[in-house]
Chain A
Amino acid sequence: QVQMQESGPGLVKPSQTLSLTCSVAGGSIKRGDSFWNWIRQAPGKGLEWIGNIYHSGTTYYNPSLKGRITISLDTSKNDFSLEVKSVTAADTAVYFCARGRMNFFDSWGLGSLVTVSS
C-alpha cells in the first residue's frame, strides 16, 4: 500500500483560503485504478468526503461544498492538493487524504488539523 502524508498550515484566518498538499510514496499517482481523495472530520464529529481527482485530472466534488473546493494534481511531485476558499469556523477539522479504489478508501494519511480562527 501507498504511504500518504498531509502538509499545510495549521491555522487559517476566516474568509481566507485553506491549502493542503498530500504527498504520496510507494506508488505512482498516475496509476489508473486509483482516485485521490480529501476527507475531513470536524472535532468530535463524523467523516465528510470533500472530493477527489483521477490521474487524468477529472475531479468530483461533494455537492454541498462545490464552488469553494479545488483539487489538483502534480504528477511531477507525485502529490495532490486541496484548496478551500472563503473558510469559516465550520471548516475547522482534521483533513485526511486517502487513496480511493473504486471509491472506497484503502490508504489514508495521518491527518492534518486545520483551525480557522482570527
Chain B
Amino acid sequence: DIQMTQSPSTLSASIGDTVSISCRASQNLNRWLAWYQQKPGKAPKLLIHETSTLESGVPSRFSGSGSGTEFTLTISSLQPDDFATYYCQQYNSYITFGQGTRLEIK
C-alpha cells in the first residue's frame, strides 16, 4: 500500500495570507496526485489533479506542485471561503488519501 502523510494536521492563517500544505508519499507517484477541499457536512470538491492541473472552475489562487514523493498545495491570498479541510489523494497504485489538513482562521 502507498501511505500518504500530510503536514501540518492543522494550519492557522489569516485572510490574505499565502499557505502551503505538504503531502508525502511512501513511494514514487510520478505525477498521479490530486487535491480536494472538504467543508463540514459536504462532499469533497476536486481542486487539482495530476499534481498541478487546476480543475475547471477552481480559482487560480490554488496551485499544486511536486513530483516523485513530495507534493505541495499552495493557496494564495486566502479568502473566507477557503477555510476547510484539504486532502491529497494518490492514484498511482490503487487509491489512498492523506489524513487531511484543517485550515482554520487565526
Contacts and interface: CB of A to CB of B under 8 A. Distances in A.
A109 B32 CA distance: 23
Contact of B97 (A46, A60, A64, A98): A46
Interface of A: 46-49, 60, 62-64, 96, 98, 101-106, 108-111
A49 B97 contact: yes
Most buried by A among B42, B50, B91, B94: B94
B87 interface: yes
Contact of B94 (A62, A101, A108): A62
B56 to A, nearest CB: 9
Given A60-B94, A63-B94, A106-B55, A46 B44 contact: no
Most buried by A among B43, B46, B91: B43
A109 B95 contact: no
Interface of B: 1, 32, 34, 36, 42-46, 49-50, 55, 87, 89, 91, 94-100
Given A46-B87, A109-B43, A111-B43, A104 B94 contact: no
A49 B43 CA distance: 14
A9 B53 CA distance: 38
Given A47-B97, A49-B97, A104-B34, A96 B87 contact: no
